[in-house]
Chain A
């Protein structure tokens, strides 16, 4: 598929997701469990993306102190928990990655 169509398709889908509840407000009632299920989506999807990036940077499990991505990721978790700032997590993660490798 042409990359432009793919971008448009992903864009329309994303817009539809963002509009979903805003458009349905007052018209459709969702089962009570539905919103609860949604609350797990960010943690489930983002963690599934991150963990292999940190523990398998080269495709196989690398659970050792000299894995720079793992070290930087652990530092980022600590920074994110204390500062709750995306910017500081990025800065701290890249600094540790740079120092480690």
Chain B
């Protein structure tokens, strides 16, 4: 898991510079936002000159999935003091959630001290992300401009989405989102993304509602 984020962080650092962000802004975003896919999207929208409102709406929609992770983690840390909740919420990423979920499933992370495991996993990922971002920023200026670094974004999303499609409802959500996104791809600043994602969610809602 820690190794997995390293190439991703390096690619992010290089991509940020190629889209016109300063090295300082690229590094700061890794600690302020701390969300790889959203940072990629931010860079691409910044490079395309998207309005602030569009960037905020799309980053928000993309990161809305973290509410799901928050809901999954909440009962396990309900007894902890507020500073723990704030720290673990800040460190809650796709990878941290995947690590926690795997440990929960295997029964390894149990007992009263498991929040230390959550914290360790989160901090390990955080450190890997900051370091690899810095390496990417340092190397980024030396990479050939025609390297398709941006392709790391769809590849990572495929790696996240494919294991989630475990039933027909999820397949329908993916199909509708994908088709609507294609039909509306002509809209500026990836606005079709907003409509497509909402359409996919609506279809999932309908299908799940009618079978439940």
Contact = CB atoms under 8 A, between A and B. Distances in A.
B107 interface: no
Contact of A84 (B163, B196, B197): B163
A47 B200 CA distance: 9
B78 A17 contact: no
Interface in B28-50: 28-29, 32-35, 37-38, 41-42, 46
Instruction: Bin the interface of chain B by size.
Output: 35 or more
Contacts, number: 253
A85 interface: yes
> For chain A, which range describes its interface: under 10, 10 to 19, 20 to 34, or 35 or more residues?
35 or more
Given A14-B33, A20-B67, A50 B161 contact: yes
Interface of A: 1, 3-4, 6-11, 13-15, 17-26, 33, 35-56, 59, 61, 69, 72-73, 76-77, 80-81, 84-87, 89-90, 93-94, 97
The 9 closest A-B pairs by CB, nearest first: A44-B200, A51-B178, A40-B204, A11-B32, A48-B196, A89-B159, A80-B162, A21-B70, A19-B89
Interface of B: 3-4, 7-8, 21, 25, 28-29, 32-35, 37-38, 41-42, 46, 52, 55-56, 59-71, 73-75, 77-78, 85-86, 88-90, 92, 95, 148, 151-165, 170, 173-174, 177-182, 185, 190, 192-193, 196-201, 204-205, 208-209
